[in-house]
Amino acid sequence: MSACGCAVPPAVPVEDEGKRPWWRDRHVMIPVWSGVALLGGLAAEWSGAGVAAQILFWIGLLLGASTFVPGSLRNLFSKRRLGIGLLMTISAIGAVILGFVEEAAALAFLYSISEALEDRAMDRARAGLRSLLTLVPETATVRRGGLSVEVSAEELRIGDLLLVRPGERVATDGLVRSGRSSLDTSAITGESIPVAVAPGDRVSAGSINASGALEIEAGAPGVDNSLTKIVDLVEQAQSEKGQRARLADRLARPLVPGVLVLALLVGVIGSLFGDPATWITRALVVLVAASPCAMAISVPVTVVSAIGAATRFGVVIKSGAAFERFGTVGHLAVDKTGTLTRNEPIVTAIVSTTGASRADVLRWAAAVEEHSTHPLATAITTAFTSSGPDAPAQALPAASAVREEPGQGLIGQVDGATISVGSPRWLGTGALAAEVERFEAEGMSVVVIARDGIVVGAIGVRDELRPEVPAVIEELTAGGTAVTMLTGDNARTAQALAQAAGIADVRAELRPEDKAAAVRALAERQPTAMIGDGINDAPALAAADVGIAMGVTGSDAAIESADVAFTGHDLRLIPQALAHARRGRRIINQNIVLSALIIIVLLPLAITGLLGLAAVVLVHEVAEVIVILNGLRAARAPRATVGARPEGSPESTLAAPLSR
């Protein structure tokens, strides 16, 4: 279903349709060939080949009209639904009856190509969304009768006991019954740090077991888990969003029946009191006079110009409807990890006891963590090799007999001593209890280092806040755009980051469905945009009036379910893109008002016979030139209004915490 309500029957499954190149998509190529025929007709007319020109105009008209006329008529008779497509149909028929095939062909081409491009964007979104389900493994190992049996994931039932080995994905949601490990949930939540799990902890479908073996009691069937619910939530939200009429459609609802009734009255009443041929002709002129030619042409021109300009400064807007909604946004919901933060953990603080220096603590920790691929380990080893003040001059010592305690940390031999590196909950905090508590209160993930069983140091690691964030938030709020942070992280972490960013409204510890519900609640009060980059953001992105995906490295689900995508991660694009969309919407509104005024002025003149068909068409043509020129103003890209914060400023060192 297109934005205008014109049904377009799919020729192939949605997944294939989304992947098919545009030149092999008949729903795109039919309007393209309509345009080719229209251009050919204009060239033939200019060269004096009148017959050839008429033939080409008819070909262009029939091709373009075939994409929206059948659907418009079906919606009219079966669903009693009126839209801009029906008005375009009526206008084209009126123009043909009066002999203006060229104008009818131009209307059919312009309308059909804009609808085809939007339908293709929606097909791609649905195809990308369904690819989420590939995160669930096809088979799972289940304990049955004391034996390990491999079954299809679709056969899993609540209560089944799953064995998930290191490196395997969890097939459905469940509860850990035995074993300890770390789960990589980055493909689902966007969080870069694996989550430690132990007996009693809940796990989600699609997570990757990073270390120890786990026995998990299935809490959901294999075909009805958190991932399938995310897909359902996004598809439902996209369907609801697709039902929201565009501004042109809202105008068409009263205009279509009004024009039909008016033309009928002109023809019938006029024929009763005068020459039927004269009044029937006037009725047809009324149809052409009421044709929203300027609207049909100017809105696509404005939208295409504005979307093209947006791509020049790194913003990809997927459809004209999305662009129209973007210009109305007054509230912005923001994801935390990967959006407000860099999603790159770094060491930001080191503390040691009197028996060791900070350089020793970092050296011992790096020697052991070198044997781990955990993101916290990477941050520590990177800090050792950096040129910071705490980086020791000597080479990294060799660690031997290193073993991992799943979900807790590592133990190894360094310089003849036993070095343990891991969670404060595992090793305790010893004499550094106050420092560890302060680190955690400031939003850091803390790694404790013990030497021969005695705590000698602690390292604070966090995901750094992007340096431009405070200035962007300040710019948005100053411009009247409210900002809310939505995150699945714990409340203390979220509050620490939000305070640094300048965000007052914080919603923490949210699941994907909670984020979507929060966005819907915000959207009930005013048009709301959501910006994020993880699979868990996909339902919220789809539920928002405008979903914005961050960066080409964001998850496919987020990018495909969003209406707008940023090619980079610079948040200064947000106020810049909003200003651009608002300016474009103002131009669209100007063109719509002008188009409506033309119709209002032409109708009485056409009814009374003061203007004939030629004069009406001439006025429409002049109006089209005016609104097209006005629409082209949207091609001017806006300038950035927020300056970058220099690296090393106080804001650039504020960060978000991580967990092991």
User: Which residue out of 335, 390, 489, 570 is catalytically annotated?
Assistant: 335
pLDDT at 162: 93
Q: What is the pLDDT of residues 36-51, one digit of tens each?
A: 999 999 899 899 898 9
Q: What is the pLDDT of residues 399-427, one digit of tens each?
A: 888 888 877 888 999 988 999 998 888 88
Q: Is 583 in contact with 638 (CB distance < 8 Å)?
A: yes
Beta strand 214-218 pairing with 174-178: antiparallel
**Does the annotation mark 335 as catalytic?**
yes
Q: What is the pLDDT of residues 562-612, one digit of tens each?
A: 788 786 677 888 898 999 999 988 998 898 888 888 888 888 898 888 887
Q: What is the pLDDT of residues 181-209, one digit of tens each?
A: 888 876 665 555 677 888 988 888 888 88
Higher-pLDDT residue of 355, 522: 522
* Mean pLDDT within 145-163: 88
For residue 68, give the nearest of 88, 47, 91, 82 by alpha carbon.
Answer: 88
In this prediction, residue 71 has a pLDDT band, given cuts at 50, 70 and 90, of confident
pLDDT at 215: 92
Inter-residue long-range contacts of 622-626, CB under 8 Å, 24+ positions, other chains counted = 623/293, 623/294, 623/594, 623/595, 623/598, 624/293, 624/294, 624/297, 624/298, 626/294, 626/594
Q: Is 216 in contact with 203 (CB distance < 8 Å)?
A: yes
Higher-pLDDT residue of 288, 212: 212
Q: What is the pLDDT of residues 329-340, one digit of tens each?
A: 999 999 887 788
User: Tokens 């590592």 appear where?
Assistant: 410
Higher-pLDDT residue of 28, 219: 219
Alpha helices in 69-183 (DSSP H): 69-78, 84-97, 101-130
Q: What is the Cβ-side half-sphere exposure of residue 376, based on CA atoms within 13 angstroms?
A: 29
pLDDT at 154: 86
What single letter denotes the amino acid at residue 286?
A: V
What single letter denotes the amino acid at residue 131?
A: S
